[in-house]
Structure 1
Amino acid sequence: MDWSQRIAEFVTLWVVIDPLGTLPVFMAVTMGLSAAERRRTACLSVLISFGVLLFFVFGGHWLLQNAGVSINSFQIAGGIVLFLFALSMIHGNHLTDVNPTTDVSPSDIAIYPLAIPSIASPGAMLAAVVLTDDARDNLPSRLATIVIIALVLLATLGILLGAGRLSRLIGRGGASVISRVMGMILAALAVDLVLTAFARWLSLPDI
C-alpha cells in the first residue's frame, strides 16, 4: 500500500468534507431539537453522506459522463446551492424553521442541509470521483479510499455529537451570532467554488 498516497487522500477528504466547518451549520439547524433528536440527526446525516460519497466512488464518473455534465458545471451548481443556504444563515431564515413549537423531522434536517450540501459537499463528491478515477479497475485501491472516507466521517460524527455541550455553553444568542458569522464564511467558500470552476473552464491562473 502506498501510504503517502493514502495520507494525501485523507488530507484532501478532510479539507473538502471539513468536519469542523459543519459544526456551526449543525448547531444552527438543530437548535430547537432535543438532545436525542440532535444525536439522531447527526448519525443520519453522516450515514447519508457516506452513502452519497460511496455512490460517487463507484458511479460518479459514469453519471457525470453519461449526463453530459462537466466537473466544472457540477462544481458551479454546488457552489450556488451552498451560497443560497449561506444567505439563509446570514438572514436567520433557517432559525425560524427550526424551533421547539414546530414538527421538525430530524431526517429532513439530516438530508438538507447537513448531508447535502454541508458534509457531502460538491467538493467532497468531486474528490470521491477524482481520487478513484485512476483506480476504476483496482478494487483494493477503491476500498482503501472508502475506508479513508469512513474515517473522516467518523471524526465528523464525533464533532457533531459534541455540539450539545457547546450549544449549552454559548446559549441561543451565541449560536445565532456564530451562525451568521459562519454564514458569511460559507458564502465566501461558495463563491470560491464557483470562481475556481470558472477559472479552470477559462484556463485562467489559480485564484
Structure 2
Amino acid sequence: MNNDLIQFALTAFGLLFVMINPIAVAPVFVAVTAGMSAGQRRATLTRAVIAAFVVTMFFLFVGRAFLSYMGVSVQAFAISGGILLFVIAFPMLMGQRSPIQAPQAGQASADVAIFPLTIPQLAGPGTIATILLLATQVGADWERLAVLTGVISVIYLIAWPTLFMAERVLNRLGDGPMHIITRVLGLVLAALAVQYILNGLTGFYQSLVGQ
C-alpha cells in the first residue's frame, strides 16, 4: 500500500469513526437495551451493526450513480455535506448527546436494533452523507474503494465490543470524561466539515475559471 492510500485510509477512518462514533452511541445502547439479558443485548447489537454495515455499503456503491441521477455536482455535495457535518459537530462541541430515549416496555429487540440503533445512530444521515462524500472522491478507483470498504468494516468491528461493554465502562467513567470525549470529537468533525466546504468552494471556483 503506497503513501497516498495510507493517508486516504487514515483520513477516511478518522472522519467515519467520528461520524459513526460508537462512543457517543454507547449511552443510547445502554438505554434502549435496559432490562435485556446479555444474550438479548448481544443479538440486538449484532443485528444493528449488520444492518448499519449493509446501509453504508449500499450508499457507498450506488452513491455516485445517485448523485449523477439527481444532477448534483461533486462541488455542491461537498459544500452541503460539509455544512451538514458542521451542524452535527456543533452540539458535540457543546457536550450534548443524542436525545433518543429507551423504547417502551414490550417493544421488540429487532425494532430497537433498527431504530434507534441503526437509524439514526450507527448509520444516520451524517454517516450516509459522509459515505456519499467519500464515494465522490473515490470515483472509479477500485483500490481506494476496497480500502474504504475495509475502513468501514473495521469501524463496525470496533463498534460491536465498544457498545457491548458500554454499560460497564460508562458506570466507571461517569459523565465528566464522556463530555470531554464528545467535545474533542466534535472539534475534529467541525474542522473536517470546514475543510470539505473549502474543497467544494475551491472546486466550484476552478470550474468557473475553466469555462
TM-score range with shorter-chain normalisation? 0.5 to 0.7
1:42 equivalent among 37, 40, 45: 45
Alignment map for 1:81-92 (pairs within 5 Å): 82-83=88-89, 86=92, 90=96
The 1:56/1:177 distance shift into structure 2, 3 A limit, reads: same
Q: 2:59 matched to 1:56?
A: yes
Cα deviation 1:80-118 (Å, max 9, x = unaligned)? 55247648962x6716x2388795834212111232157
For residue 152 of structure 2, what is the aligned residue in structure 1? 149
Q: 2:142 matched to 1:107?
A: no
For residue 98 of structure 1, what is the aligned residue in structure 2? 102
AA in 2 matched with 1:191: A
Does structure 1 retain, via aligned residues, the 8 Å contact 2:23–2:163?
A: no
Could you say what the CA RMSD is over the residues aligned between the two structures, in angstroms?
Answer: 3.9
Q: 2:168 matched to 1:161?
A: no
AA in 1 matched with 2:134: A
For residue 68 of structure 2, what is the aligned residue in structure 1? 65
Does structure 1 retain, via aligned residues, the 8 Å contact 2:29–2:163?
A: no
For residue 140 of structure 2, what is the aligned residue in structure 1? 134
Alignment map for 1:165-176 (pairs within 5 Å): 165-170=168-173, 174=174, 176=175
Does structure 1 retain, via aligned residues, the 8 Å contact 2:94–2:183?
A: no
Does structure 2 retain, via aligned residues, the 8 Å contact 1:16–1:124?
A: no
AA in 1 matched with 2:172: L
CA distance in 1, matches of 2:16, 2:149: 14
Q: Note the residue ranges of structure 1 that are not aligned, 5 or more in a row.
A: none
Does structure 1 retain, via aligned residues, the 8 Å contact 2:53–2:156?
A: yes
For residue 201 of structure 1, what is the aligned residue in structure 2? 200
CA distance in 1, matches of 2:192, 2:133: 12
CA distance in 1, matches of 2:199, 2:78: 7
For residue 81 of structure 2, what is the aligned residue in structure 1? 75
CA distance in 2, matches of 1:169, 1:129: 41
Does structure 1 retain, via aligned residues, the 8 Å contact 2:48–2:113?
A: no
AA in 2 matched with 1:25: A
In the TM superposition, residue 30 of structure 1 has moved relative to its aligned partner by: 2.0
Does structure 1 retain, via aligned residues, the 8 Å contact 2:20–2:122?
A: no
Does structure 1 retain, via aligned residues, the 8 Å contact 2:45–2:160?
A: yes
In the TM superposition, residue 21 of structure 1 has moved relative to its aligned partner by: 7.3
CA distance in 2, matches of 1:10, 1:145: 7
Range that drifts further, 70-79 or 182-191:
182-191
In the comparison of the two structures, how many residue pairs are matched?
Answer: 191
Identity of aligned residues (%): 18
In the TM superposition, residue 201 of structure 1 has moved relative to its aligned partner by: 3.4
Runs of 4+ in 1 over 6 A off after TM superposition: 99-102
